[in-house]
Amino acid sequence: MTDPHDHRRPALLISGCSSGIGLCCAHAMQKRGWRVFAGVRRDAQITDLHERGLDAVLLDVDDSASIHAAVETVLAATDGRLDALFNNAGFGQPGALEDVPRKALREQFETNVFGAMELTASVLPAMRRHGHGRIVFNSSVLGFAALPYRGAYTASKFALEGMADTLRMELRSSSIQVSLIEPGPISSRFRANAYARFRQHIQTEDSPHRDAYRAVEYRLAKDDEPASGPFTLPPEAVLKRLVHALESRRPRARYYVTVPTYLFGYLRRLLPSRAMDAVLMRATADERRLPRQRREQRP
């Protein structure tokens, strides 16, 4: 049996491992021979991951002290070596941009952008000392294609991709590789968490978007399920791209996941901006309309 603490195994730190993509990738990469450090935000989650046979570390990317403590813990356990980082932690804040309060927008960027970049900067010195490393950012199809009522999340992913592209160029002379994974819909707790943020921050009744919000809220509440939608894939679809980004000799700069990502990526290269807007609005039109039976039930 392989010793999980064997320092000869390549070490990988993953943020956001309490469920979904992070948890799936943590288990699978460990089975592939990596020593995985699964980052979670709460002590109870640490215990749960230990019981599942994973090395777990307390890591809240919204907290600088937590980031640096987690990196120190990992490096102490690996004699100062970290071979790879998967920046997976993130969430989506739904709502029309004019209705998203500044506090909510700040929280969106703290997790999806600032935390990911601070965590990356914290591991780079160790990677430079050992002369190699892989950094992977979990972005989204919304990192290059904007959709209505997802503006805060879209803006954060656009920013994340800009930073990842810049970082890739700045590290060109090193042996540290940077990749982006751009999934479309993946079965996870993402929609349930987004619904909680929607209810917390968006005041619907006084909004000019209140009619659309009824449909948005219906969809988010209904989608609190393991899978939803014809193009939704399981977390293993992201895992497949992560394996290539971490283990191939020539990792790609970008990895598409799901049909919508391929489709929108193709159309974005062909269409002018307003034509692309029309395609994206049409693709999401049903999300802004209540199903007929729900409309008929309204008083």
| Residue range 161-187: mean pLDDT, rounded | 97
- Whole-angstrom distance, CA of residue 154 vs CA of residue 171: 26
Burial of 34 (0-12, 13-18, 19+ CB in 10 A): buried
CB 261 within 8 A of CB 184: yes
Among 227-241, 250-264, 283-297, the range of highest mean pLDDT: 250-264
pLDDT tens per residue, range 110-135: 999 999 999 999 999 999 999 999 99
* C-alpha dist (Å) from residue 235 to 12, 77, 112, 212, 259: 18, 28, 19, 29, 15
pLDDT tens per residue, range 185-218: 998 888 889 999 999 999 999 999 999 999 988 8
Look at 230 and 258; give whichever has higher pLDDT. 258
Q: Which of 177, 172, 176, 179 is nearest to 143 (CA)?
A: 179
Verify whether residue 153 is a known catalytic residue.
Answer: yes
Q: What is the pLDDT of residue 299?
A: 46
Sheet holding 11-14, edge to edge: 55-58, 35-40, 11-14, 84-87, 133-138, 176-183, 254-257
| pTM of the predicted protein model | 0.92
Q: What is the pLDDT of residue 62?
A: 98
Average pLDDT of the chain to the nearest whole number: 92
pLDDT tens per residue, range 68-115: 999 999 999 999 999 999 999 999 999 999 999 999 999 999 999 999
CB 202 within 8 A of CB 213: yes
Q: Which domains does the chain have, with CATH numbers?
A: 11-188+229-269 (3.40.50.720)
Which among 153, 195, 255, 256 is annotated as catalytic? 153
Q: What is the pLDDT of residue 223?
A: 56
Q: Is the pLDDT at 219 greater than 90, yes or no?
A: no
| Residue range 134-156: mean pLDDT, rounded | 97
Q: Which amino acid type is present at position 12?
A: L
